[in-house]
Amino acid sequence: MSENKEKILRDAKQILMQIAHDLNTPRNIRRAARNAIRELDNADLSLALRAANAIDILQEITDDPQIPTFARTAILEAISLLDIISKE
């Protein structure tokens, strides 16, 4: 894995970790962030597939009306980072 992809992956996981540990974020949003992190850590799949699976999980929750604005913004940022990886 290239150094650039590793940095992008680390940055995306850091964003998701912040969401997963923020008690001001609804439980279902935190759970989705944890599931996306788990998907990114799945070494059985290629990096592009892991990123695509995590994006699917995260896109489902962006339409949730109860998601706080700061969490939605962070999730969209993580999605945009992961999109770079999934396209390569």
Instruction: Judge whether 20 and 33 are in contact, CB under 8 Å.
Output: yes
Q: Mention every residue, 6+ apart, whose C-beta is less than 8 A from residue 58.
A: 32, 33, 36, 75, 78, 79, 82
Alpha helices (H) in the chain, listed in sequence order: 3-21, 27-40, 47-62, 69-87
What's the pLDDT score for residue 86? 87
Is pLDDT above 70 for 48?
A: yes
| Residue with the two structure tokens 């969401």 | 19
Q: What percent of the chain has pLDDT over 70?
A: 99
Residue pointed to by tokens 């001001």: 24
What is the pLDDT of the chain when averaged over all its residues?
A: 94
Q: Which residues contact 33 (CB under 8 A, 6 or more apart)?
A: 16, 17, 19, 20, 58, 75
Instruction: Tell me the pLDDT band of 33, cut-offs 50, 70 and 90.
Output: very high
pTM to 2 decimals?
0.92
Res 1 pLDDT > 70: no
